[in-house]
Amino acid sequence: MANSKIEVVGPEEVTLITELYNAVYRPPKTVAFFQRRFSGRLNVVMLVAHLDRRPVGFATGFELKPSTFYAWLTGVLPDARRLGVASQLTEALEGWAIEHGYVRMRFECYSRHRAMLHLAITSNYNIVGIRWDPDGQDNLVIFEKTLVESHTEEADI
């Protein structure tokens, strides 16, 4: 397993996040796409993973509700996959969420993205739902993990 350096980056790095996204996913997105998605969101966080000072992956997220953090997008460049970078990004995002008082982490992934499905299961996430995404023409599997045990259950409906 590679030991990537994970850093929290600010909004000035949305261009880097966009470049990394476009190197991993299709169709490509614009900086404006990310800015719109983050607009009005609470506790937006962007992480970048580096190997030998080269950015090789990213993770983004924001508050879904007061006790739940939503891991929105994660990606790792093809030549840096299978080195544990996605796991390290996920752990770093979970750590950030715990430090900021979140009890749960949630994310979705397409049923065709086998590596992310595997990561979710091996990282102790539970399947809490499935929904059809008409844009992606595929099912999205909804995963959730309890990060810290809460003494009082909140009704976050």
Task: Please state the domain extents for the chain.
Answer: 5-146
Contacts 24+ apart (CB under 8 A), 112-121: 112/138, 115/81, 115/86, 116/74, 116/86, 117/141, 119/86, 119/87, 119/90
In this structure, whether the domain defined by 5-146 belongs to CATH 3.40.630.30 is answered with: yes
Query: pLDDT tens for residues 49-104?
Result: 999 999 999 999 999 999 999 999 999 999 999 999 999 999 999 999 999 999 99
Q: Tell me what pLDDT residue 152 has.
A: 53
Instruction: Give yes or no for residue 155 having a pLDDT over 70.
Output: no
Is-above-0.85 flag for pTM?
A: yes
pLDDT confidence tier of residue 114, bands split at 50, 70 and 90: very high
Main-chain phi, psi angles of 141, to 5 degrees: -90, 130
Q: Are strands 68-76 and 138-146 parallel, antiparallel or unpaired?
A: unpaired
| Cβ atoms 44, 1 nearer than 8 A | no
What's the pLDDT at 81?
95
